[in-house]
């Protein structure tokens, strides 16, 4: 079920078995997808591009969280704090004379270092203790943001600039879209690649059965820390991309709700699925839009007046996020990635579905 490959597709070498894209069709589909994405700024309007950019940025952060939660079996309820740290770090580096193109990866590395510091307990704790530890990390980092004026600009927040390369400034959604697209391709490619290396398989082994993993010579503490570091790195990169897109980073933006949203993306997309992270991000970005659209449909009607829909749209969005997480956990714990596999399998096997 996991890998639905067409009949006759026998893998005759380890190399073939390890490829990321198993069939020619999937390779073609990926290439077509990237070409279509490149064409998007010419077709779509600013609003749609804004959504796509958000999906890309949050998708990168969600992928980092998925490496931690879905692939290593650790949990983090403080991902938004690391995302925020990356945003502030990149803005800070840029203000001190580092070009944006360099500040973004630097911010990723800085966030990874911070993540490793908070990952120290992660090397020893697991499950619910880790959940509580990362929840605390969220509050401590939020407090740090409000306190560290030199780093975050304090209550006023921090302004920053869009990336520019040899006179070409990516200040508008049409141009910034390409920046995000490149980042998405690089980061998702890196993650897909990571999962077929020794380190990636070690992470999965830690998730599946940590005792067996340890018996096979996997250093548990090292790999738990490593996965925390990778997750923070991805969060930092995504945060930096976010900062140079919004051009303003506010201290209040990176709340616990944001962290929960990231966890929601991972769960809805599918734990342990790389493509699922992007699907989950898309779901989480589009869900508030859909809720708002539904509320707008009812504007002026009796239901709207009775329930004060228009004035409380932000609460409705939060409720939708919470409800989506619960519904997926109860009815579709493997997320959209599994649903997508089932749809593909249905068409592949049609009309003999059994």
DSSP assignment string, 135-149: HHHHHHHHHHHHH-H
Q: Does 123 bind another protein (CB under 8 A)?
A: yes
Q: How far is the CB of 265 from another protein (least distance, A)?
A: 12
Q: Output the CA torsion sign for 329, 330, 333, 339.
A: negative
3-state class of 169 per DSSP? Answer: strand
Of 13-21, 23-31, 49-57, 125-133, the segment contacting another protein by CB under 8 A is 125-133
The footprint of another protein on this chain (CB under 8 A) covers a number of residues equal to: 50
The single residue among 50, 95, 214, 292 that binds another protein, judged by CB under 8 A, is 214
Contacts (CB under 8 A) with another protein, residues 60-119:
69, 73, 75, 77
Select the residue interacting with another protein from 132, 195, 204, 275 (CB under 8 A).
132
> What span, in angstroms and rounded, lies between the C-alpha atoms of 68 and 266?
10
Asked whether position 204 contacts another protein by CB under 8 A, the answer is: no
C-alpha closest to that of 47 among 281, 285, 261, 315: 285
- Could you say whether residue 322 binds another protein (CB under 8 A)? yes
Binding status of residue 315 toward another protein by CB under 8 A: yes
Q: Which is nearer to another protein, 329 or 342 (CB)?
A: 329
Instruction: Tell me: does residue 29 bind another protein (CB under 8 A).
Output: no
| The token pair that represents 179 in the structure block | 């920046």
Q: What are the φ/ψ torsions at residue 219 (nearest 5 degrees)?
A: -80, 105
Among 210, 275, 288, 310, binds another protein (CB under 8 A): 210
Q: Which residues contact 253 (CB under 8 A, 6 or more apart)?
A: 84, 87
Least distance CB 75 / another protein (angstroms) = 5
Q: Is 49 in the site for another protein (CB under 8 A)?
A: no
Q: Which is nearer to another protein, 35 or 215 (CB)?
A: 215
Of 17 and 208, which CB lies nearer to another protein in the complex structure? 208
Site for another protein in 269-298 (CB under 8 A): 271
Q: Give bridge partners of residue 158 from the DSSP assignment.
A: 249
- Smallest gap, in angstroms, from Cβ of residue 10 to another protein? 34
In angstroms, the first-to-last Cα distance of the chain is 12
The piece of 36-44, 50-58, 327-335, 343-351 that touches another protein (CB under 8 A) is 327-335
133 touches another protein (CB under 8 A)? yes
Query: Which residue stretches of the chain are H helix?
Result: 14-18, 24-43, 46-66, 79-95, 100-124, 127-147, 149-152, 173-194, 198-208, 210-215, 220-246, 256-269, 274-297, 302-307, 313-331, 335-349
Tokens in use for 1?
Answer: 């079920």
DSSP, res 170: -
Please name the residues in contact with 61: beta carbons below 8 A apart, sequence gap of 6 or more.
79, 83, 234, 235, 238, 239, 262, 281
Check binding of 159 to another protein (CB under 8 A): no
Interface with another protein (CB under 8 A): 69, 73, 75, 77, 120-121, 123-129, 131-133, 135-136, 139-140, 143, 146-147, 210, 214, 220-221, 224, 257, 260, 263-264, 267, 271, 308, 312, 315-319, 321-326, 329-330, 333
């Amino acid at each position: 079920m996991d890998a639905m490959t067409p009949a006759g597709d026998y893998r005759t070498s380890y190399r073939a078995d390890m490829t990321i894209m198993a069939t020619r069709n999937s390779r073609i589909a990926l290439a077509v997808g990237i070409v279509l994405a490149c064409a998007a700024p010419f077709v779509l309007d600013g609003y749609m591009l804004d959504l796509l950019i958000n999906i890309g940025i949050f998708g990168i952060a969600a992928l980092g969280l998925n490496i931690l939660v879905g692939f290593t079996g650790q949990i983090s309820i403080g991902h938004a704090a690391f995302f925020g740290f990356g945003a502030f770090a990149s803005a800070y580096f840029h203000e001190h004379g580092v070009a944006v193109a360099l500040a973004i990866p630097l911010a990723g590395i800085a966030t990874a270092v911070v993540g490793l510091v908070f990952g120290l307990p992660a090397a020893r704790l697991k499950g619910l203790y880790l959940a509580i530890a990362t929840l605390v990390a969220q509050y401590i980092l939020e407090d740090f943001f409000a306190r560290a004026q030199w780093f975050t600009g304090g209550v006023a927040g921090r302004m920053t600039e869009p990336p520019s390369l040899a006179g070409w400034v990516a200040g508008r959604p049409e141009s910034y879209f390409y920046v995000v697209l490149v980042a998405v391709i690089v980061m998702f490619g890196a993650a897909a690649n990571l999962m077929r290396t020794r380190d990636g398989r070690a992470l999965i082994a830690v998730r599946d059965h940590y005792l067996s993993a340890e018996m096979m010579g996997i250093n548990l503490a090292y790999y738990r820390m490593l996965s925390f570091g990778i997750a923070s790195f991805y969060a930092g990169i995504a945060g930096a991309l976010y900062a140079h897109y919004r051009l303003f980073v506010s201290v209040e933006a990176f709340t616990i709700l944001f962290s929960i949203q990231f966890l929601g993306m991972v769960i809805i997309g599918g734990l342990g699925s790389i493509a699922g992270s992007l699907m989950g991000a898309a779901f989480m970005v589009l869900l508030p839009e859909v809720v708002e659209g539904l509320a707008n449909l009812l504007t002026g009607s009796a239901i709207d007046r009775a329930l004060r829909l228009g004035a409380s749209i932000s609460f409705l969005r939060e409720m939708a996020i919470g409800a989506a997480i619960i519904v997926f956990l109860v009815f579709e714990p493997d997320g959209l990635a599994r649903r997508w596999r089932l749809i593909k399998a249905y068409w592949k096997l049609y009309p003999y579905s059994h």
